[in-house]
Amino acid sequence: MQLDLFQDNNPDALVANLNPQQRQAVEYRGKALLIVAGAGSGKTRVLTHRIAHFLAAKELWPSQILAITFTNKAASEMRDRVESLIGASSEGMWIKTFHSACLQILRREADRLGYDSNFTVYDTSDSRALLKRLLREAGAEDADIKPQQAAAIISNAKNELKDAEDFARNADRSNPKERIVAEVFQGYERELKRNNAFDFDDLISETVHLLRAHPEVRGRYQKRFRHILVDEYQDTNHAQYALIRELTRPMPDEYAIFDDRTGEQIPPAELTVVGDSDQSIYAFRGADIRNITEFERDFPGAQTILLEQNYRSTQNILSGANAVISQNPYRKAKNLWTDAGSGELISVFTGYDERNEAAYVVDQIKQLHTQGTNYRDMAVLYRTNALTPSLEAELKTQRIPYAVIGGLKFFERKEIKDALAYLSIISNARNDEAARRVLNIPARGVGEKTELKIAQFARENDLPFRMALARVGELGLGPKLTATIEEFAQMLSELEALSAAEGPAEVLKLLLTRSGYRASLEGSRDPQDEARIENLDALLGQLYQWQAVNPEGTLSDYLAEVTLAAAADEIEDESGTISLMTLHTAKGLEYHTVFLIGLEQGTLPHIRSFDEPGGLQEERRLMYVGMTRAKQKLYITNALQRTLFGNTSSFVPSSFLNDIPQELCEQVGQERRALRESNYQAPRTSWQGALNTVAAVRDNKDLTLEVGDRVQHDTFGTGKVIAVSGTPPKQTAEVRFESGPTKRLLVKMAPIVKL
Ligand X SMILES: Nc1ncnc2c1ncn2[C@@H]1O[C@H](COP(=O)(O)OP(=O)(O)OP(=O)(O)O)[C@@H](O)[C@H]1O
Among 5, 15, 39, 55, binds ligand X (CB under 6 A): 39
Asked if residue 389 has a cis previous peptide bond (ω within 30° of 0), the answer is no
d(CA 385, CA 388): 6
Candidate segments 49-57, 341-349, 581-589, 601-609, binder of Mg ion by CB under 5 A: 581-589
The single residue of 21, 22, 23, 43 carrying the catalytic annotation is 43
Name the residue nearer to ligand X (CB basis): 19 or 328: 19
CB of 44 to Mg ion, least distance (A): 3
CB of 34 to ligand X, least distance (A): 14
d(CA 384, CA 382): 6
The reply to whether 355 belongs to the active site is no
Name the residue nearer to ligand X (CB basis): 42 or 669: 42
Would you give the binding string for ligand X spanning residues 273-292, x where CB under 6 A is met? ---x--x-------------
In the list Mg ion, ligand X, none, the entry touching 518 (Cβ below 5 to 8 angstroms by class) is none
Rg (CA), the chain: 29
Is 38 part of any known ligand binding site?
yes
Name the residue nearer to Mg ion (CB basis): 43 or 672: 43
Candidate segments 35-43, 52-60, 377-385, 440-448, binder of ligand X by CB under 6 A: 35-43
Is 40 part of any known ligand binding site?
yes
Binding to Mg ion (CB under 5 A) within 180-239 occurs at none
Whole-angstrom CA distances from 479 to 438, 483, 485 are: 21, 6, 10
Task: Specify burial of residue 366 (Cβ count, 10 A radius: 0-12, 13-18, 19+).
Answer: middle
Among 40, 147, 320, 351, binds ligand X (CB under 6 A): 40
Candidate segments 42-50, 428-436, 467-475, 653-661, binder of ligand X by CB under 6 A: 42-50
Candidate segments 41-49, 157-165, 373-381, 577-585, binder of Mg ion by CB under 5 A: 41-49
635: enclosing H helix or E strand:
strand 630-639
Contact 406, 587 (CB under 8 A): no
In the list Mg ion, ligand X, none, the entry touching 386 (Cβ below 5 to 8 angstroms by class) is none
Answer yes or no whether residue 147 interacts with ligand X by CB under 6 A.
Answer: no
CB of 626 to ligand X, least distance (A): 11
CB of 632 to ligand X, least distance (A): 12
Contact 240, 271 (CB under 8 A): no
Contact 273, 295 (CB under 8 A): yes
Is 42 part of any known ligand binding site?
yes
Contact 45, 22 (CB under 8 A): yes
d(CA 54, CA 557): 61
660: enclosing H helix or E strand:
none
Would you give the binding string for ligand X spanning residues 248-277, x where CB under 6 A is met? ----------------------------x-
Q: Which long-range contacts (CB under 8 A, 24 or more apart) does 604-607 make?
A: 604/383, 604/654, 604/656, 605/654, 605/655, 605/656, 606/383, 606/384
Is 43 part of any known ligand binding site?
yes
Contact 607, 597 (CB under 8 A): no
Helix ranges (H only) for 550-665 are 555-567, 583-586, 615-627, 655-659
Among 219, 588, 626, 719, binds Mg ion (CB under 5 A): 588
Nearest by Cα to 49 from 99, 85, 88: 85
The reply to whether 231 belongs to the active site is yes
Answer yes or no whether residue 709 interacts with ligand X by CB under 6 A.
Answer: no
The reply to whether 279 belongs to the active site is yes
In the list Mg ion, ligand X, none, the entry touching 590 (Cβ below 5 to 8 angstroms by class) is ligand X
Candidate segments 4-12, 16-24, 100-108, 507-515, binder of ligand X by CB under 6 A: 16-24
Beta strand 752-754 pairing with 710-713: antiparallel
Q: Which residues pair with 738 in a beta bridge?
A: none
In the list ligand X, Mg ion, none, the entry touching 39 (Cβ below 5 to 8 angstroms by class) is ligand X
Is 37 part of any known ligand binding site?
yes
Answer yes or no whether residue 36 interacts with ligand X by CB under 6 A.
Answer: no
Contact 636, 347 (CB under 8 A): yes
CB of 18 to Mg ion, least distance (A): 15
Would you give the binding string for ligand X spanning residues 312-341, x where CB under 6 A is met? x-----------------------------
Is 669 part of any known ligand binding site?
no
Nearest by Cα to 583 from 316, 349, 380, 350: 380
Binding to Mg ion (CB under 5 A) within 674-733 occurs at none
Phi first, then psi: give them for residue 606, nearest 5 degrees: -70, 145
In the list ligand X, Mg ion, none, the entry touching 170 (Cβ below 5 to 8 angstroms by class) is none
The single residue of 44, 69, 350, 364 carrying the catalytic annotation is 44
Answer yes or no whether residue 17 interacts with ligand X by CB under 6 A.
Answer: yes
Contact 227, 65 (CB under 8 A): yes
Beta strand 227-230 pairing with 270-275: parallel
Answer yes or no whether residue 377 interacts with ligand X by CB under 6 A.
Answer: no
Query: How many whole angstroms from its chain centre is CA 221?
Result: 32
Contact 225, 247 (CB under 8 A): yes
CB of 239 to ligand X, least distance (A): 23
Binding residues for ligand X, total number by CB under 6 A:
19
The reply to whether 629 belongs to the active site is yes
Answer yes or no whether residue 41 interacts with ligand X by CB under 6 A.
Answer: yes
Among 44, 207, 388, 692, binds Mg ion (CB under 5 A): 44
The reply to whether 232 belongs to the active site is yes
Answer yes or no whether residue 38 interacts with Mg ion by CB under 5 A.
Answer: no
Nearest by Cα to 312 from 338, 334, 291: 338
Nearest by Cα to 25 from 306, 308, 311, 335: 306
Would you give the binding string for ligand X spanning residues 609-648, x where CB under 6 A is met? -------------------x--------------------
d(CA 592, CA 587): 15
Answer yes or no whether residue 11 interacts with ligand X by CB under 6 A.
Answer: no
Contact 596, 385 (CB under 8 A): no
Answer yes or no whether residue 427 interacts with Mg ion by CB under 5 A.
Answer: no
Q: Which residues pair with 274 in a beta bridge?
A: 35
Answer yes or no whether residue 291 interacts with Mg ion by CB under 5 A.
Answer: no
Contact 275, 36 (CB under 8 A): yes
Other CB atoms within a 10 A radius of the CB of residue 492 amount to: 22
Residues 6+ apart with CB under 8 A from 507: 423, 426, 495, 498, 499, 555
Answer yes or no whether residue 43 interacts with ligand X by CB under 6 A.
Answer: yes
Answer yes or no whether residue 596 interacts with ligand X by CB under 6 A.
Answer: no
CB of 600 to ligand X, least distance (A): 25
The single residue of 77, 178, 183, 231 carrying the catalytic annotation is 231
Answer yes or no whether residue 594 interacts with ligand X by CB under 6 A.
Answer: no
The single residue of 83, 199, 232, 714 carrying the catalytic annotation is 232
CB of 95 to Mg ion, least distance (A): 14
CB of 83 to ligand X, least distance (A): 15
- Secondary structure of residue 96 in the 3-state scheme: strand
Is 44 part of any known ligand binding site?
yes
The reply to whether 44 belongs to the active site is yes
CB of 485 to ligand X, least distance (A): 54
Asked if residue 329 has a cis previous peptide bond (ω within 30° of 0), the answer is no
Among 588, 598, 683, 741, binds ligand X (CB under 6 A): 588
CB of 33 to ligand X, least distance (A): 15
Residues 6+ apart with CB under 8 A from 599: 636, 637, 638, 653, 654, 656, 657
Asked if residue 613 has a cis previous peptide bond (ω within 30° of 0), the answer is no
Annotated binding site: 37-44
Q: Which residues bind ligand X (CB under 6 A)?
A: 17-19, 22, 37, 39-45, 276, 279, 311-312, 588, 590, 628
Annotated binding residues for ATP: 37-44
Residues that bind Mg ion (CB under 5 A): 43-44, 588
Q: Could you list the active site residues?
A: 43-44, 231-232, 279, 629
